[in-house]
Amino acid sequence: MNEETTHKIMDLTNLTLTELQTALQNGETTSTAVTEAMLERIVAIDNDIQSYLTLTDELALAQAQEADERRARGDDSPLLGIPLAVKDMICTEGVQTTAGSKILEGFVPPYDAFVVRKLREAGAVILGKTNTDEFAMGSSTENSAYVTTRNPWDLSRVPGGSSGGSAAAVAANLAYGALGTDTGGSVRQPAAFCGIVGLRPTYGRVSRWGVVAFASTLDQVGTFGRTVADCTAVFQTIAGHDPHDSTSLDVPVPDYEAALTGDIRGLRVGVPKEYFVEGIDAEVETAVRTAIDKLAELGAEIVEISLPHTEYALPVYYLIAPAEASSNLARYDGVRFGPRVAGVDMIDTVKKTRALFGPEVKRRIMLGTYALSAGYYDEYYGRALKARTLIKQDFLNTFDQVDVIVTPTTPTTAFKIGEIADDPLQMYLQDIFTLSVNLSASCGISVPCGFDSQGLPIGLQLIGNSLQEATILNAAYAYEQAANWTGAMAEQPL
């Protein structure tokens, strides 16, 4: 690859999604040229990052050519010809979907998930499927049965999880945006670790049809972007009602992109005292408090609030999520999906096939099965549901006083690969600030708010009431424009 070609690829892949939209609309480039450049960059550097599990290069080039033909006919759809990535928890017709597990190795779905179909209809280009912790169970992408994804800011560190592959791909300019799933923070936490924007919408705002199930009352598809506008553009396309999903909300979809005014004068911003506690890294707290001061400068009213049942979020989550996982993962029996390990009879076959589950998945299945077992259901799962109601009520009461809640996204910056892999409790604590959003059916977004002394990104989390995505997106956009971290976040070493 000569120097001129290398610069051309870098120029195209360094564009944000919204910048690329403008370039395509003005005829300055084509989707084919952009897709070729992106694929060349993936081949050049993804062996180091390992963000993709499956690269659909031939399919992507065919979709890019179709997008160029659509544009030539006058089509000007917002995502037309934009190369995106999809987390490998989300079904893609004709393309292997593994959920990061050996028990689904070789599974090729006969249909697209609702969100993938929406992207295809919009003319987006699907570059491939990104790495994930097995069945989305993890906070580092170290639990993938295939590879460990690395953080583009420091290859010795994790990108977060479980959507670490999608976050790393966007951060390393290997996709202009991406889809992830967020069950307890799996979009927002990796977004914070990788210095990009990650949105977890309200439960039911985006269809879960065609998404491999982990915990059905907590799972939600989310979006990644290099900027708030990028993240919003992808979200705008996939939001909406889906009759195939009984939990999908049948309510109108606002114009989220038009809501990005940057004006937050009079916005009431709540700062919960329970989120600034012992254990949070001092540099993270400083960066977040500085960001809160910036919101005040922009005209927001800062209000100290309390979410008193926050201390129960972690144990509640790790009862409800494993219990639902135990039920959902019972379908993997070697009969209908993925590989089958032959045994002497049906029971032996199921037993040997289920041995393909990784250690973290087995741990959560056993925990969930115990919590649901006779004699323990009311003591554990039943009590967890009651505590979840209290957590949700805290948020509802708080949103009577404020419009947005602001917290750190994570207690630390990205940790080293293997550093806490053998300590499940420390790993679970990585999601301590994000879990409550899923338990309360709120919406949340992580936006970059600075760096620590090691040059690693720090994330600011903004939480909104149910279906208030427009509010948190605009607040995040206002902060992003004022703080101007976008350029610095684009300077990752790769």
Q: Which residues are marked as active site?
A: 87, 162, 186
Contact 153, 128 (CB under 8 A): no
Map residue 278 onto helix, strand or coil.
coil
d(CA 145, CA 361): 11
d(CA 451, CA 264): 24
Burial of 4 (0-12, 13-18, 19+ CB in 10 A): exposed
For strand 404-408 and strand 268-272, is the pairing parallel, antiparallel, or unpaired?
parallel
d(CA 113, CA 90): 6
d(CA 199, CA 260): 14
Q: What Å distances lie between residue 352 and 104, 135, 334, CA to CA?
A: 14, 19, 9
Q: How many CB atoms lie within 10 A of CB 315?
A: 14
Question: If we measure between CA atoms, which residue out of 130, 124, 50, 140 comes closest to residue 98?
Answer: 130
Map residue 441 onto helix, strand or coil.
coil
Contact 296, 302 (CB under 8 A): yes
Residue type for position 39: L
- Sequence-distant (6+) residues with CB within 8 A of 69 are none
d(CA 409, CA 411): 7
d(CA 135, CA 114): 19
Question: If we measure between CA atoms, which residue out of 275, 111, 226, 228 comes closest to residue 481?
Answer: 228
Q: What does the block give as tokens for 494? A: 């790769």
Whose tokens are 């967890």? That residue is: 384
